[in-house]
A and B are shown apart, each in its own frame.
Chain A
Amino acid sequence: MKEKTQVADVDRAFYDFRYDEDEKNFLDSGITPDIIREISAEKGDPEWMTEFRLHSLDVYSRLKMPQWGPDISGLDMDRIVAYLRPQKRMQSDWNSVPDDIRETFEKLGIPQAERESLAGVGAQYDSELVYHNVRKEVAESGVVYTDLESAMHDEHYAELIKTHFMKLVPPTDHKFAALHGAVWSGGSFVYVPAGVRLDIPLQSYFRLNARGAGQFEHTLIIVEENAYLHFIEGCSAPKYYEASLHAGCVELYVGKNSTLRYSTIENWSKNMYNLNTKRATVAEGGKVEWVSGSFGSHVSYLYPMSILNGRGARAEFTGITFAGEGQNLDTGAKIVHNAPETSSYMNTRSISKSGGISTFRSSVVVNENAVGSKSAVSCESLMLDSISRSDTIPAMVIKTDKADVGHEARIGRISDEAVFYLMSRGLDENSAKALIVSGFAENVSKELPLEYAAEMNNLINIEMKGSIG
């Protein structure tokens, strides 16, 4: 008998704890000008922001739903609650955070990670940040790490936010960018002054606890010249049967000769529509490094974009996507070479199993002025059974013949021969498969922050256990 490899589902039980939310904290569902005004008033927006929100709503109502990717017809926008009133204002001491919320983050290991390995932490629960703190020495170096709401009201940063907020990702970009512009709440503002190199990372953790809600956090990071920052973003949510929506937005400004590393581990529950937009602009000699792990959500559209605007600017994208039963994860990256001698490298792995669909979608544009630029794209897919699906959709637009562009794609199934080889050395079937899968992911997982790489290996191992009937 020929044995076919079969792997079980990700055990997400770990993330599925949840607390009851207080109904009175919900604003009405649906998105109308009145709701927008209410959110804006609730948040104490400056006037320009209220106008910005209403303008975005107008754009939103005129744009069509995307027609080119995974099906999102299960998302009923009239039923999504855009904003939840926080129980309490943001704190900088975990002990002042409401008990149930603090317990949530403790279970996720955030305060512990903060003590051990982070320069600063932000924690968002539903719509608003509940905790934000940076180490004293980090604050003294001039690094600002706070929520966007506070920064908007701070005389030092108000103007900076006004001139950068949704300038990289304008509301007209697509329907969910417009929605984000209208209802955004929470997220982070990071400012790294010229010459400051932060050796330890900052981390934001986003947790959507409420059912049928949306999370629309905005992350704005400005790194000045000759600076370094590693920013880590983690996301999770417990499982509900109603659809939830995540339409966050990340805007990164990387200054001359600076490096910004942006790591994300997304482990939303499988009722989540993850329609997130991330974009970076990189100045001369600067570099953006994206590390992206997509494990959760029901549907994802996620393609972090790097615009290389200065001579010699670089972008690296390292991504891994794991699509299990009921998941359709459409992920990839976009790179625009917009200056001479720029370079980009994309390296991704995707795994699909139990009928999951993973699609790698990439776009590389090399403009006429980007002479002497280089781009390499490498994507590999592994399907763990015959009912899963994997697609690769690379696009390239090269407008100069003075560029070096390469693309490499490989799609394969887990090989029974490899499983037999490992089993003949004493590994049981599950361990053999786990080893093949984690080996396949190794090039990418070693780029993840240590605790996330360990978590990913655990996920793979847990998943392989007890999966054979």
Chain B
Amino acid sequence: MSELLKISGLRVGAEDKEILHGVDLTINEGETHVIMGPNGAGKSTLGAAIMGSPEYSITGGSLIFGGEDITAETPDKRAKRGIFLSFQNPVEIPGITLSSFLRSAYEQVTGERIKLFAFKKKLQEAMEILQMNPEYADRELNVGFSGGEKKKAEILQLLVLRPKLAILDETDSGLDVDAVKTVSAGIKAYREQTGGSLLIITHNTKILEALTVDRTHIIADGRIAAEGGAELIDEVTANGFDKYVSGGSL
């Protein structure tokens, strides 16, 4: 399988403080990777840095996506290349409906116009997979959505935008058991429909049950502390992260 994302020696900081101290990680096309680690280890920072968040600055290393260096690219260019980030805390944007926002996002990432009717159909299909009330399409983007609905709306965007790489930042956090199942079904549908790659940042193994995990990375203290296959998930679930944390407990 060919290389989709290659992260080399990535150093990332925020406000003069380095958070990631040189991360190497490669994701091939069609692979599902899981990132686990204690709170504050830098997991979300890695996801945000791959997407190009202005909150962080890359101080060293590189991001190569589809063979091209995207280290200095703006988030919109990365989105157009096929990178997607499901936000841990999706932002509320008043005054624009989920539907019309997603339609313009679709046109931006695909570079093609889509007729309203065709788009509505696409949207409706995706909403069915996620068991979303169709009314949400005409509500203002994330405004007044519950935590669970916000996460579903993120996966809805994933299904409509069909990126090559989806980074899911704690998409399962704060969800009840049923909602985790629904979201998980959405992620599975994304895999099946597009064959896209996944980078799943999580604390929870439930969301992974419907998926085949290719690689697991443990991030601790801003570094990759351990790597392995799916079996590593069971290992940290049983024993915790203590042995990966240097310099004692936080």
Binding site for B on A (CB under 8 A): 1-3, 415-429, 431-432, 435-436, 438-443
Contacts and interface: CB of A to CB of B under 8 A. Distances in A.
Interface in B67-107: 74-76, 78-80, 84-85, 87, 90-91, 93-96, 101-102, 104-105
Given A2-B55, A415-B91, A420-B55, 12 more contacts: A416-B55, A420-B52, A421-B91, A423-B74, A425-B109, A426-B161, A431-B108, A435-B93, A435-B96, A439-B93, A439-B94, A442-B96
Contacts of A415: 91
Interface of A is mostly: helix
B124 interface: no
Contact of B96 (A426, A429, A439): A439
B114 to A, nearest CB: 13
Contacts of B105: 425-427
Contact of A427 (B76, B140, B157): B76
B108 A427 contact: yes
Interface of B: 51-55, 57, 74-76, 78-80, 84-85, 87, 90-91, 93-96, 101-102, 104-105, 108-109, 140, 157, 161
B104 A420 contact: no
Contacts of A1: 54, 57
Nearest to A428: B76
B177 to A, nearest CB: 28
16 contacts: A2-B55, A416-B55, A417-B55, A420-B52, A423-B76, A424-B52, A424-B75, A424-B85, A426-B80, A426-B105, A426-B108, A429-B74, A435-B101, A439-B94, A439-B140, A443-B95
A2 B95 contact: no
B96 A425 contact: no
Nearest to A349: B95
B9 to A, nearest CB: 19
Contact of A425 (B53, B79, B95): B79
The 8 closest A-B pairs by CB, nearest first: A439-B95, A442-B95, A426-B108, A423-B75, A425-B105, A426-B79, A426-B109, A421-B91
Nearest to A4: B54
A159 B53 CA distance: 68
Contact of B94 (A427, A428, A440): A440
